[in-house]
Amino acid sequence: MALKDLEVNFARPSVLAERNGIQQLVLAHQAELQDVNEVPCFFWGKLVDPLLSSKCLLTLSKVVRSSFGPVPPSLRDPIVSAGTEQLRFEGFSSCNGVYARLDLLEEAIDGEFLAAGTTNVDFNEPMLNALNSIKKTESMVMGVGEKEVSLHSDGGTVVERKVTLPVRWIKGLTSVQWYLAAMEEVFVLQKLQVVQLFQTIPRGAVKGNYYLSKRGNKFMFSPLKSADAVQIGGIQRLRLLESLLPYVDLIRVYQAAGGECVCLVADFGKMRMTLALSPDNYRGFSGEGNVLENMVQEVPQEWIYGLNSLLKSNELFNPTLLSIEHDIAFDTMDSLTASLSSIGLLGYDMHEAKHYYRRLPFKTERILSLNPRLKNAKKLLQTDSIQIIRREGRILEARVEGSGVQHTVLIEGEQARCTCNWYTNHQGKRGVCKHVLAVKMQLKD
């Protein structure tokens, strides 16, 4: 059965209005989980820096309304996670190649967390237009949900707007946290360096990769690759951050060794804006299969449910420390976290170098439906379609039945190859194929 986008109905729109001389931003929320919907308000309190908060929310809105690939732009609403004394707003571009997250830290908000959870929030045009007019001297209160129903009990017409939470967003949330967790900090740019660098982003349509490098005290972009340079595909996507440059303290640049994705974290002291870019404009995060390697070990569903219950308060956590604390084998913890990650339940905070939990709908059947390669690999196991031909030390060769053809899988240490079209086209850059995955799962058994 094909997966459908999740329909979300907002009973009323988000509103930014002045009441008693204070701007009140009330974000309407809606989620698939009924107990989350029954929470009238997750957070209510003052924004310490209303102008900067507004600019960051507008930047997030710009990301979710943009598209850099063949997918046309469409209206999408971000998700927000409340808990651990901070708010995280997240979203993807329509093409799914840009991920953005705004972290409003404890110092950025002065209020009360009434509940922990993750929900969709309504970003409508009137609210965004009002955000655009916020001045530095204004006071502003924000509510994720409503603290008092009386705020909207003035006899006004109830407005219902139907939006969808795209399946590719859930798949993108899976991939992007895996990429972020593998990255290391490469460069730190101070405010002046940031402004100077962004002035050199090429104008117009740009083909091919650019590379960010440092020469002396200056950072520069070049189409030529050099040692220790950071690869950036679709460089024009960095312009999404331009409106925030006057306010930024510094920007940290992250990339994994030999990686193709890049992440920039703009630090404002009280809040942080994360922008992650896929390898190029035509490659979205939703099509990656990088989490599959950690799912070759079968773990009992009750363990997955147990970890899900443990993390429901949206806490930050380190899987290694969690393994030690609860006496769980490291590879088992990898499989458990991969299972939760595979349905979009885990994010990764670059600054803290820890995972965090999103309370999205928890349905274990989505592990297979959102990961068709895993589903197909399990079918190959169930039909005895794998034959081990040779096993010598760290080298293993296997034959796997395909659609009217036999594929050869060769595993040498950590490297795996296959004769199928998936491997030929992607060379392992978008996760393992179903044939390699099935062989590895059989070896685990």
Q: Which two tokens stand for residue 441?
A: 């799962």
Mean pLDDT of 132-160: 56
Query: Which amino acid would we find at residue 5?
Result: D
Assigned token pair, 329:
């084998």
- Report how far residue 360's alpha carbon sits from residue 31's, in angstroms, rounded to the nearest whole number: 8
The whole-number pLDDT of residue 156 equals: 32
Weakest mean pLDDT among 47-56, 65-74, 198-207: 65-74
Pick the range with the lowest mean pLDDT from 50-54, 150-154, 164-168, 293-297.
150-154
400's tokens: 């796997």
* 420-426: Cβ within 8 A, 24+ apart: none
More confident residue, 90 or 338: 90
Say if pTM beats, i.e. exceeds, 0.85. no
Average pLDDT over residues 114-136: 80
Total number of residues shown for the chain: 445
pLDDT tier for residue 276 given thresholds of 50, 70 and 90: very high
Higher-pLDDT residue of 331 and 157 is 331
Q: What is the mean pLDDT of residues 35-59?
A: 82
The answer to whether residues 222 and 211 touch, using CB atoms and an 8 Å cutoff, is yes
Across the strands, what pairs with 253? Answer: 187, 264
Q: Does residue 265 carry a pLDDT above 90?
A: yes
Are β-strands 117-121 and 386-392 bridged in parallel, bridged antiparallel, or unpaired?
unpaired
Q: Which residues contact 392 (CB under 8 A, 6 or more apart)?
A: none
Q: What pLDDT score does 445 carry? A: 67
Of residues 359 and 211, more confidently modeled: 211
**Between 201 and 166, the higher pLDDT residue:** 201
Span 276-295, average pLDDT: 78
- Give the full edge-to-edge strand order of the sheet including 184-190: 29-30, 117-121, 79-83, 86-92, 98-104, 271-277, 262-267, 250-255, 184-190
Region 248-262: mean pLDDT is: 94
Pairwise CA distance, residues 316 & 354, whole Å:
6
What percentage of the chain carries pLDDT values higher than 70?
79
Strand (E) or helix (H) holding 262: strand 262-267
Residue 362 pLDDT: 55
CA distance 301 to 282: 36
C-alpha closest to that of 78 among 50, 16, 110, 120: 120
Confidence of residue 10 (pLDDT cuts 50, 70, 90): very low
State pLDDT tens for residues 368-390. 667 788 889 999 999 999 999 99
Six token digits for residue 113: 């967390």
CA distance 378 to 385: 10
Instruction: Please give the residue that has the higher pLDDT: either 280 or 42.
Output: 280
d(CA 129, CA 413): 56
pLDDT of amino acid 363:
62
From residue 154, give the alpha-carbon distance in Å to each of 22, 83, 158, 348.
18, 31, 11, 42
pLDDT at position 302? 82
- Kindly state the tokens that stand for 270: 């009280």
C-alpha distances out from residue 95 to 22, 57, 290, Å = 37, 20, 19
Is pLDDT of 99 > 50?
yes
pLDDT band (50, 70, 90) for residue 133: confident
Across 47-67, average pLDDT: 93
Question: What pLDDT sits at residue 349?
Answer: 92
